[in-house]
Structure 1
Amino acid sequence: MKVRVWIKEVTVLGTILFSGLAFAQTEPDSIALAKNDFEEHFFEALKQKGIENYDKAIVEIEQCLAKEPNNPVLHHELGKNYLALKKYPEAQRAFQKAVDLNPKERWYWNGLYDVFYETKDYAQSIVVVQKLIEFDKDFQDDLVSLYMYTRQFEKALALIEEMERTSNISQMMETYKLQILSESQFKKPQKEHLEEAIRKYPQVEENYIQLIYLYTESNQEEKAMEVARKLEQNIPNSDWAQVSLFKLHLNNGNGEKASQAMYAILNSSKIEQKIKHRVLNEFLIFVNNTNTFDKELEKAVDTFGDETTVNVAKEVGIFFFNKKKADKAIYYFEKSLLKQKDDILVIELLLQAYTESNRFDKVSKRSEEYLEMYPTQARLYYYAGLAQNQLKNYKKAITFLNTGMDFVVGDIDLEINFNIQLGEAYNGLGDQTKKYTYFNRAEQLLKQKK
Structure 2
Amino acid sequence: MNRKILFCGLLFSGMLLAPAVSRAQEEPDQIALANDVFENNFYEALKQKGIENYDKALRALEICRAEEPNNPVVYHEIGKNYLALMNYPEAEKAFLKATELDPKNRWYWVGLYDVYYQTQDFNKAIPIVQKLTEWRKEFYQEDLVSLYMYTEQFDKALTLINELEQTVGQTERREMFKLQILSNNKLNKPKKQDLEEAIKKYPKEESNYLELIYLYSESNEEEKAEKIAEKLAKEIPESDWGQVSLFKFNLNNNKGDEAAKSMFRILGSKKIDRKIKHRVLNEFIIFAYNNPQYYNDLEKAVDYFADDEEVNVPKEVGKFFFTKRNFDQAGHYFQKSLAADADDIEAIELLLYTYQESQRFDELYTKATEYTELFPTHARLYYFAGFAANKKQQYKKAKEWLENGMDFVVEDIELEAGFNRQLGEAYAGLGDEKKKEAYFSKANKLQKPGE
Give me the TM-score of the superposition, normalised by structure 1.
0.65
Q: Counterpart in 1 of 2:225?
A: 224
Q: CA deviation at 1:349?
A: 2.0
Q: CA deviation at 1:85?
A: 11
Q: CA deviation at 1:321?
A: 2.4
Structure 2 distance, partners of 1:85, 1:228, is 45
Please list the CA deviations of residues 370-410 of structure 1 after superposition, one character each: whole Å capped at 9, or x if unmatched. 2222323343333333333433444434443444444445x
Please list the CA deviations of residues 251-274 of structure 1 after superposition, one character each: whole Å capped at 9, or x if unmatched. 211223323444455556776655
In structure 2, which of residues 431, 439, 444 is the aligned counterpart of residue 434 of structure 1?
Answer: 439
Counterpart residue identity of residue 131, structure 2: E
Cα gap change, 1:89 to 1:265, in 2 (>3 Å): closer
The alignment's C-alpha RMSD in Å is: 5.2
SS at the partner of 1:429? helix
Structure 1 distance, partners of 2:66, 2:354, is 49
Does 1:64 find its partner at 2:62? no
Structure 2 distance, partners of 1:75, 1:219, is 50
Please list the CA deviations of residues 48-104 of structure 1 after superposition, one character each: whole Å capped at 9, or x if unmatched. 445657698468647735xxx555556667778999999999988776655554455
Does the CA-based 8 Å contact 2:396-2:426 persist in structure 1? no
Does the CA-based 8 Å contact 2:149-2:157 persist in structure 1? no
Counterpart residue identity of residue 307, structure 1: D
Cα gap change, 1:231 to 1:293, in 2 (>3 Å): same
Please list the CA deviations of residues 272-292 of structure 1 after superposition, one character each: whole Å capped at 9, or x if unmatched. 655544433332222224444
Counterpart residue identity of residue 438, structure 1: A
SS at the partner of 1:307? coil
State the identity as a percent: 42
Cα gap change, 1:216 to 1:94, in 2 (>3 Å): closer
Cα gap change, 1:125 to 1:105, in 2 (>3 Å): farther
SS at the partner of 2:448? helix
SS at the partner of 1:203? coil
Structure 1 distance, partners of 2:323, 2:157, is 27
The 5-angstrom pairing of residues 347-386 of structure 1 reads: 347-386=348-387
Structure 1 distance, partners of 2:102, 2:406, is 41
Count of residues in Structure 1 that have an aligned counterpart in Structure 2: 398
Q: Counterpart in 2 of 1:134?
A: 131
Q: Counterpart in 1 of 2:325?
A: 324
Counterpart residue identity of residue 13, structure 1: P
Cα gap change, 1:163 to 1:41, in 2 (>3 Å): farther
Structure 2 distance, partners of 1:92, 1:270, is 36
SS at the partner of 1:376? coil
Structure 1 distance, partners of 2:110, 2:383, is 33
Stretch deviating more after TM superposition (80-89 or 381-390): 80-89
The 5-angstrom pairing of residues 51-130 of structure 1 reads: 52=48, 57=60, 61=64, 64-65=67-68, 70-73=70-73, 98=98, 100-105=100-105, 122=119, 127=124
Q: CA deviation at 1:367?
A: 1.9
Does the CA-based 8 Å contact 1:249-1:257 persist in structure 2? yes
Cα gap change, 1:367 to 1:140, in 2 (>3 Å): farther
Does 1:12 find its partner at 2:8? no
Please list the CA deviations of residues 301-343 of structure 1 after superposition, one character each: whole Å capped at 9, or x if unmatched. 34x1753545443332233223332222222222233333333
SS at the partner of 2:335? helix
Structure 2 distance, partners of 1:336, 1:58, is 34
Does the CA-based 8 Å contact 1:363-1:383 persist in structure 2? yes
Structure 1 distance, partners of 2:113, 2:396, is 45
Stretch deviating more after TM superposition (262-271 or 84-93): 84-93
Cα gap change, 1:281 to 1:39, in 2 (>3 Å): closer
Cα gap change, 1:264 to 1:253, in 2 (>3 Å): same
Does the CA-based 8 Å contact 1:361-1:387 persist in structure 2? yes
Structure 2 distance, partners of 1:144, 1:91, is 25
Q: CA deviation at 1:432?
A: 0.8
Counterpart residue identity of residue 429, structure 1: Y
User: Which structure carries more relative contact order (alpha carbon 8 Å, separation 6+)?
Assistant: 1
Q: CA deviation at 1:298?
A: 2.9
The 5-angstrom pairing of residues 3-402 of structure 1 reads: 12-13=18-19, 15=21, 39-49=35-45, 52=48, 57=60, 61=64, 64-65=67-68, 70-73=70-73, 98=98, 100-105=100-105, 122=119, 127=124, 131=128, 134-135=131-132, 154-155=150-151, 166=164, 191-192=192-193, 194-216=195-217, 218=219, 220-266=221-267, 275-302=276-303, 304=304, 307-309=307-309, 311-402=312-403
Stretch deviating more after TM superposition (435-444 or 274-283): 274-283
Q: CA deviation at 1:438?
A: 3.3
Q: CA deviation at 1:201?
A: 3.0
Structure 1 distance, partners of 2:322, 2:170, is 27
Cα gap change, 1:47 to 1:201, in 2 (>3 Å): same
Structure 1 distance, partners of 2:385, 2:46, is 29
Give me the TM-score of the superposition, normalised by structure 2.
0.65
Cα gap change, 1:293 to 1:421, in 2 (>3 Å): same
Q: Counterpart in 2 of 1:420?
A: 418
Q: Counterpart in 2 of 1:27?
A: none
Structure 1 distance, partners of 2:414, 2:369, is 22
Does the CA-based 8 Å contact 1:129-1:143 persist in structure 2? yes
Cα gap change, 1:14 to 1:204, in 2 (>3 Å): closer
Structure 2 distance, partners of 1:111, 1:170, is 27
Structure 1 distance, partners of 2:93, 2:271, is 53
Cα gap change, 1:357 to 1:237, in 2 (>3 Å): same
Counterpart residue identity of residue 39, structure 2: F
Does the CA-based 8 Å contact 1:417-1:442 persist in structure 2? no
